[in-house]
């Protein structure tokens, strides 16, 4: 099922503008992009299963209508954030508050470091002020790594909610990462401290999603996803069999 979703997303990419890296999708299965398809692909293929599963985490979900990958309402569109920000996973659903969405940024071993985006002549701060969701004294923190990527994706979600033409009644941006990725956990905590209104932001773990899957299906794929991505015992067993010269330094694999 995940393979079918990958083929569909790659085929649609020229039309949607999705930045899908084909070699990475097929051969680098421990990066976050293939992880999205392996975890959410079966749900995208079965929206009833998606509804039952995701309701375990977000009880306001009544019916999932669609799940998309690497999705944006408009890249380089000034209606939104005028950049290439997109959600790794986008869930459209009917909820207690009406037509709703969950936009998800998925991290695996990534640590939210890298090259910061330019601030578009203060556009992001201007958008943030308009939303009234942020403490203005924290704009300098939000504009810098490691919080910037979280901020830009959250701003995209907030602009969607503000745009009446999009027809959204409610929406949430979610930072999703595995237990053990302490840098993402700290970044999620610190980001939450920058918010005056936190109703549209959540930091959650991949482990929660797998557990929700296990609660609603007896199929093997949730356990397979857990074994591939989240079972530290398998990783630790492998590490202990390596010669000392090849073993990683203390601090954990996910903190790199």
- What 3-state DSSP class applies to 105? strand
User: Looking at residue 132, what is its pLDDT?
Assistant: 96
Q: Which distant-in-sequence residues (6+ apart) come within 8 Å of 192 by Cβ?
A: 198, 201, 203
The predicted-structure confidence for 195-207, as pLDDT tens digits, reads as follows 999 999 999 999 9
CA distance 223 to 225: 5
Per residue in 88-132, pLDDT (tens digit) is: 999 999 999 999 999 999 999 988 998 888 876 799 999 999 999
Task: Please give the model's pTM, rounded to 2 decimal places.
Answer: 0.84
Residues of the chain with pLDDT under 70: 1-29, 120, 235-256
The per-residue DSSP string of 21-50 comes to: -HHHHHH-TTSHHHHHHHHHHHHHH-HHHH
Q: At what angle do helices 32-45 and 47-54 cross, to 10 degrees?
A: 110
153: β partners: none
């Amino acid at each position: 099922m995940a393979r079918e979703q990958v083929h569909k997303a790659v085929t649609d990419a020229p039309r949607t503008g999705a930045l899908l890296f084909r070699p990475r999708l097929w051969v680098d299965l421990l990066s976050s992009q293939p992880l999205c398809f392996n975890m959410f692909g079966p749900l995208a293929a079965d929206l009833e299963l998606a509804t039952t599963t995701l309701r375990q985490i977000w009880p306001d979900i009544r019916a999932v209508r669609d799940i998309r990958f690497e999705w944006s309402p408009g890249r380089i569109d000034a209606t939104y954030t005028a950049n290439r920000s997109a959600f790794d996973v986008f869930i459209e659903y009917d909820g207690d508050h009406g037509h709703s969405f969950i936009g998800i940024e998925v991290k695996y071993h990534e640590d939210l470091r890298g090259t910061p985006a330019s601030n578009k002549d203060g556009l992001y701060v201007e958008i943030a002020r308009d939303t009234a969701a942020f403490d203005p004294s924290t704009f300098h923190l939000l504009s810098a790594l490691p919080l910037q990527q979280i901020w830009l994706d959250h701003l995209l979600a907030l602009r969607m909610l503000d745009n009446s033409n999009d027809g959204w009644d409610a929406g949430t941006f979610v930072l999703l990462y595995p237990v053990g990725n302490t840098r993402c956990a700290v970044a999620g905590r610190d980001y939450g401290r920058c918010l005056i209104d936190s109703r549209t932001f959540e930091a959650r773990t991949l482990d929660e999603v797998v557990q929700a899957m296990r609660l609603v299906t007896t199929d093997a794929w949730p356990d397979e996803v857990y074994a591939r991505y989240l079972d530290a015992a398998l990783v630790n067993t492998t590490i202990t069999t390596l010669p000392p010269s090849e073993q990683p330094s203390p601090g954990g694999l996910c903190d790199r």
